[in-house]
C-alpha cells in the first residue's frame, strides 16, 4: 500500500505573465504497485500545459496493464512512445506543431522488490537508498541553464533514459525543474537529503492524503519556496505503508 501526496503550483513568473501552470502530475497505487508520472511543459510553448497532461495520463493508462512483475526496458519504452503519440495527436487536433505542446517527462513504476524509472529532460526522481537518497538520473539540461530535452523532440529517444532497479523501494519523490535548485546539491552532484527527509516524514506522520495535499500546495506556494524559484513546481511524494506484508501472504490483488 502506498500513501501518495502530490500537486503542481504555478510559478510566480507564470502568474505575472498570465501563463497557466504547465506542469502536470498524477499517480496510481494498487496494492504494492505504484505508477507515477510528471511532466513540465516548455515555457515557450503556448499549449505545453496540454502536452504535459496528455503525456502523463496516457502513460498511466498504458502502464496499467502491468501486474507485479519487473517490466522489460522495451515495455517502458513502448508506454512512453504511446504517451508521446497522444501528445502528437493532440497537437494535430489543436492544429499546431508538436513543439507547441513540448514537455519533459518523468515516470516511476515501483513494485514489491523492484522499480523502473524513465526520464526525458530535466526534473528529478528520488528514492531511498542504502545511505540517504538516490536519484535515478541527473537532470538533462544540455549545456545551458535554459535548455532541456522534450518528449516531443524528434530525437527524444537519444535522450530517453531508463533504469530498472532490482531492490525494494519504500520512498519515492518526483519533482520538476522548478524545485531542482532546492532539492539537489549541484556542486556535489547529489541529492540534498535534508530537503527530502522531512517531506517523507511528514507524509508518514501526517493526516490523510487530502489534508496533506492542502499543506503540500501551500508549502509549494510559500514565500520561502518562491524566493528561490519563479518557475512552475511539482512535487510527487509517496511512501510505502509500514504495514506491508510479503506478497506471498498478502490477500490484496497482485
- Judged by the rule CB under 8 A, the positions of this chain that interact with other proteins are 11, 13, 40-45, 48, 102, 104, 121-122, 141, 143-148, 150, 177-178, 181-189, 192, 194-196, 198-199, 201-202, 205-207, 211, 215-216, 218-219, 222, 224, 228, 230-231
In terms of DSSP H, where are the helices of the chain?
Answer: 12-17, 48-63, 73-94, 156-159, 180-183, 193-205, 209-220, 223-226
The sheet that has 171-175: what strands, in order across it?
2-9, 233-240, 171-175, 124-128, 133-135
Q: Which is nearer to other proteins, 90 or 122 (CB)?
A: 122
Q: Which is nearer to other proteins, 64 or 147 (CB)?
A: 147
Q: Which is nearer to other proteins, 137 or 195 (CB)?
A: 195
Q: Which is nearer to other proteins, 74 or 198 (CB)?
A: 198
Shortest Å distance, C-beta 237 to other proteins? 9
Shortest Å distance, C-beta 121 to other proteins? 8
Asked if 178 and 226 touch (Cβ cutoff 8 Å), the reply is: no
Q: Is 206 exposed, middle or buried (0-12, 13-18, 19+ CB in 10 A)?
A: middle
Q: Which is nearer to other proteins, 64 or 181 (CB)?
A: 181
Nearest Cα neighbor of 127 from 241, 236, 7, 246 is: 236
Shortest Å distance, C-beta 41 to other proteins? 8
Q: Which is nearer to other proteins, 171 or 231 (CB)?
A: 231
Q: Which is nearer to other proteins, 26 or 104 (CB)?
A: 104
Shortest Å distance, C-beta 196 to other proteins? 8
Q: Hey, CA dihedral for 174, 175, 181, 186, is it positive or negative?
A: positive
Asked if 153 and 97 touch (Cβ cutoff 8 Å), the reply is: no
Shortest Å distance, C-beta 166 to other proteins? 29
Shortest Å distance, C-beta 157 to other proteins? 19
Phi-psi category of residue 18: left, alpha or beta, with phi > 0 → left and psi -120 to 50 → alpha: left
SS3 39: strand
Between CA 77 and CA 155 the distance in angstroms is: 14
Q: What is the CA radius of gyration of the chain?
A: 17
Shortest Å distance, C-beta 81 to other proteins? 21
Amino acid at each position: 500500500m502506498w500513501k501518495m501526496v502530490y500537486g503542481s503550483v504555478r510559478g510566480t513568473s507564470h502568474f505575472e505573465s498570465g501563463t497557466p501552470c504547465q506542469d502536470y502530475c498524477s499517480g496510481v497505487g494498487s496494492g504494492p504497485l505504484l505508477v507515477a508520472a510528471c511532466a513540465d511543459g516548455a515555457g515557450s510553448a503556448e499549449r505545453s500545459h496540454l502536452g504535459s497532461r496528455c503525456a502523463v495520463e496516457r502513460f498511466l493508462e498504458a502502464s496499467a496493464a502491468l501486474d507485479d512483475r519487473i517490466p522489460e526496458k522495451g515495455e517502458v519504452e513502448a508506454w512512453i512512445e504511446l504517451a508521446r503519440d497522444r501528445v502528437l495527436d493532440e497537437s494535430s487536433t489543436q492544429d499546431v506543431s508538436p513543439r507547441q505542446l513540448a514537455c519533459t517527462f518523468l515516470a516511476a513504476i515501483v513494485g514489491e522488490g523492484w522499480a523502473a524509472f524513465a526520464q526525458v529532460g530535466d526534473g528529478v526522481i528520488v528514492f531511498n537508498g542504502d545511505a540517504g537518497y538516490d536519484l535515478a538520473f541527473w537532470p538533462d539540461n544540455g549545456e545551458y541553464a535554459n535548455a532541456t530535452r522534450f518528449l516531443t523532440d524528434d530525437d527524444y529517444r537519444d535522450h530517453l533514459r531508463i533504469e530498472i532497479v532490482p531492490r525494494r523501494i519504500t520512498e519515492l519523490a518526483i519533482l520538476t525543474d522548478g524545485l531542482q535548485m532546492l532539492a539537489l546539491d549541484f556542486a556535489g552532484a547529489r541529492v540534498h537529503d535534508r530537503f527530502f527527509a522531512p517531506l517523507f516524514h511528514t507524509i508518514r506522520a501526517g493526516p490523510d492524503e487530502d489534508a496533506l495535499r492542502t499543506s503540500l500546495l501551500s508549502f509549494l506556494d510559500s514565500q520561502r519556496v518562491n524566493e528561490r524559484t519563479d518557475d512552475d513546481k511539482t512535487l510527487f511524494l509517496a511512501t510505502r505503508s509500514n504495514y506491508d506484508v510479503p506478497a506471498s501472504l498478502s490477500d490484496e490483488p497482485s
